[in-house]
């Protein structure tokens, strides 16, 4: 249940960031779909591990992190048509310093969509209470944490994009999450609907070169 809500929030946050980075409406759509699907591989990870309140052993951590390659395998039939989405699913736990998983890609070798979703993912994880961390960070605290990781764990431009774009997305997520009426869902849909990019500066490759 957490994964479902988390995926929707990451999709919306990724949408706001992709727009802020000046991506085209089609690229924004691919980032949103990648955000929605980024953790699909967790269906092959035991729920007991995902919900474990205590620290994970090294072996357990490796099993949880294998959701990246599991996910890429599940979506392999989409590889030719949607390489961007496959790239986001496989590489959203890479780090720009090359110390991430599963392939240790470095800097711009990590597809831009995966760098965007990595930041949105971390922000949502930090601002949501979990069994192993009962007190969630405030958005301001989470943004500060992301800033500390900019240039090592996270792409600095993506952190900036979240700093600018998070509040509109976060307000929309909060309203949709607390309301049962279709009006709020409609507003959420309007938020993620295609629109013209706000900038035209290229910020990196969206499509991965290999998988």
With contacts defined by CB under 5 A, how many residues of the chain interact with Fe ion?
1
Nearer to Fe ion, 87 or 191 (CB): 87
Q: Which is nearer to Fe ion, 23 or 37 (CB)?
A: 37
- Residue labelled with tokens 């039939």: 77
Of 42, 67, 92, 95, which one is the catalytic site residue?
A: 42
Query: Shortest distance, CB of residue 64 to Fe ion, whole angstroms?
Result: 9
Measured CA to CA, the distance from residue 183 to residue 172 in angstroms comes to 12
Q: Based on CB atoms, which residue is closest to Fe ion, 92 or 157?
A: 92
Beta carbon of residue 151, minimum distance to Fe ion (angstroms, whole number): 21
Going by C-alpha positions, the residue among 28, 205, 186 that lies closest to residue 107 is 205
Which residue number, 39 or 124, has a Cβ lying nearer to Fe ion?
39
Which residues have CB under 8 Å from 111's CB, separation 6+? 84, 87, 88, 91, 204, 205, 206, 207, 208
What distances in angstroms separate CA 78 from CA 74, 85, 86, one per listed residue?
9, 8, 7
Q: Which span sits near Fe ion by CB under 5 A: 7-15, 37-45, 72-80, 130-138?
A: 37-45
- Asked if 124 is part of the footprint of Fe ion (rule: CB under 5 A), the reply reads no
Q: Segment near Fe ion (CB under 5 A), from 33-41, 95-103, 126-134, 150-158? A: 33-41
**Count of all residues that appear for the chain in the document:** 211
Q: List alpha helices for the chain, DSSP H.
A: 2-20, 25-37, 47-50, 58-65, 67-74, 83-91, 112-126, 139-149, 156-178, 182-192
| 39 touches Fe ion by CB under 5 A | yes
Binding mask 73-112 for Fe ion (x = CB under 5 A): ----------------------------------------
Q: Least distance (Å) from Fe ion to the CB of residue 41?
A: 8
What phi and psi, each to the nearest 5 degrees, are found at residue 147? -65, -40
Residue 42 appears among annotated catalytic residues: yes
Q: Closest approach of Cβ 182 to Fe ion, in Å?
A: 30
Structure tokens given for 22:
């000046």
The residues pairing with 150 across neighbouring beta strands, listed in sequence order, are 154
The residues of the shown chain that bind Fe ion, judged by CB under 5 A, are: 39
Active-site positions read 42
């Amino acid at each position: 249940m957490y994964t479902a809500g988390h995926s929707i929030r990451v999709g919306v946050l990724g949408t706001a960031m992709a727009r802020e980075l000046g991506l085209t409406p089609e690229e924004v759509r691919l980032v949103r779909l990648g955000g929605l699907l980024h953790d699909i591989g967790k269906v092959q990870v035991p729920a007991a591990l995902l919900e474990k309140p205590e620290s994970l052993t090294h072996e357990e951590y490796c099993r949880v992190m294998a959701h990246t390659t599991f996910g890429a395998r599940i979506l392999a039939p989409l590889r030719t048509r949607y390489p961007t989405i496959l790239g986001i699913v496989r590489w959203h736990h890479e780090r720009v310093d090359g110390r991430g998983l599963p392939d240790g890609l470095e800097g711009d070798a990590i597809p831009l969509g995966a760098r965007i979703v990595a930041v949105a993912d971390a922000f949502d994880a930090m601002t949501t209470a979990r069994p192993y961390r009962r007190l969630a960070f405030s958005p301001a605290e989470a943004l500060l944490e992301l800033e500390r990781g900019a240039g090592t764990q996270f792409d600095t431009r993506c952190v900036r994009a979240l700093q600018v774009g998070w509040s509109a997305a976060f307000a929309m997520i909060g309203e949709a999450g607390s309301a049962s009426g279709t009006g709020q869902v409609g507003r959420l849909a309007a938020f993620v609907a295609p629109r013209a990019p706000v900038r035209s500066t290229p910020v990196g490759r969206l499509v991965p070169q290999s998988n």
